[in-house]
Structures are given as C-alpha cells and as structure tokens.
Amino acid sequence: MVRQLFELGVLQSGFWHQFAMTAHSPVGLHPEKFGVVKETEVIGSFANNDINYIDSTGIDHEKFSFGLKKSLFNFMHGICFDYTLQEWFDFKIPKTKIPQHFIFKALQEPEDFKIKPTAKIVLLGGKPFVGEFTKSKKGSSWEMMTLTFHSKKESFTIQTSKAEGVWLKEILQKISVSSSQVFTLQEIKIDFEKQQEDFELFWYSKPVNSLREYGLLVL
C-alpha cells in the first residue's frame, strides 16, 4: 500500500518508525499482556518517556528495517515501483494480500462523503419489517436487528446493531415522504448523537448505503 501511495503521488516522503515502548501506552502500563518485560522503570519528562524492554517472544525487531528503509528510499525517488515485496528482503516473507491497484481504485470511488449538512433527507416507500437476533463470535455475543423493506418489485434486508436499528426505525418514520416535516442531515446527526457516537461512521456504512440505493434520497 505504501508503494502504491508513492506511485500515485499521494505521498512524497516518509519514514519508518520502529516500535518504542512508552510509559503511558497500553504496552507500557501492562507489558505482561504483550509478552514483554520492562528493563527500566524510571522515566524522564513526558516527551522522554521511552522504556527499555525485553521481548519474550524472541523476535528480531531489526529484521525488516533494512528492506523497509531501502524500498522507501527508492519510492521517494520515484523508482522501483515494479519490484515485488520479496525483492527488498534477503529472507522469505509472506505474500501481500493487497490487490495491485487497491489505492487507484479507492481514489476512483465517488466522493459520497461531501454531503452538505443542510441537505434534506427523505425516504421513499413504506415502513420496514423489523426482526431481532443474536450474533456470536469467538465467545462474545451481541444483539442485532434486521430491517426488511418491500417495494412493488422486490424486497431487501439490512442488518445493524440493535441500538442502531432502533434509532434507524424511528428516524425513517420521521423522514418518510408522507411526513409533514422535512429533516436535514445536520438534524439527523444531532438526533443520532443524543444516543450514540460516530454518526458519520454509521451514515456511510454499508446498511445505509444500501438504503440510498433503494429510496433514501439526499436532496
């Protein structure tokens, strides 16, 4: 991804920083959870609070340094973009899982994140059918909600957390085309943040984007 960012001109310079354990970081506060042992406890000023440590995993933290620095030096000079990751290292490394044109495709996506706060939000269609279920993964479970919408031609279902689903169901009734009141994006954001956080993260999520394909209008 770093190579692609330089190749497309998104970045012009950079520097690889190796991990340093600081006193007030999660690792510094609870080293036993991360497999490291403190060598020092005394720290200086807030700006000089690095702690010497021993990594009990035995990993060599310097192992990748030369290859990372060498590749970055070349990228900053606009060359060697066609090298594979393996060519920067003299030991075997895992193959990348990032597609070759990942950054380029991301830059081609529509700029949907620039909706004005004063934009009016209206929902076409009727009320959704609501269902609840419990989702479990790796020993944890949480409540989820489904909202199913029906039109004359088709139906579709979205999934959210229960809290988001309850809020979404209520706000969709308020912004329905049959409602006498018109709401702006800013008003919806304020309403959302009375109960939850990260409105933008929710508003641009996959479930809401699906709604925008099926009748959630931004005017």
CA dist., res. 166 & res. 135, Å (int): 17
Long-range contacts of 157-166 (CB under 8 A, 24+ apart): 158/207, 158/210, 158/211, 159/207, 160/207, 162/132, 163/195, 163/196, 164/196, 164/202, 165/130, 165/132
Tens-place pLDDT, residues 52-106: 888 888 888 889 999 999 999 999 999 999 999 999 999 999 999 999 889 888 8
CA dist., res. 99 & res. 90, Å (int): 23
What does the pLDDT average to over 128-139? Answer: 87
198: Cβ–Cβ under 8 A, 6 or more apart, which residues?
none
What is the model's pTM? 0.50
Residue written as token pair 């076409």: 124
Tens-place pLDDT, residues 15-36: 998 888 888 888 888 888 888 8
Q: What percent of the chain has pLDDT over 70?
A: 94
- 41-55, 110-124, 176-190: segment of lowest average pLDDT: 41-55
Position 106 scores a pLDDT of 81
Average pLDDT, the chain: 87
- Please state the separation of Cα 68 from the chain's center in Å: 25
Position 4 scores a pLDDT of 94
Q: Is the pLDDT of residue 9 over 80?
A: yes
What does the pLDDT average to over 169-196? Answer: 91
158 touches 96 (CB < 8 A): no
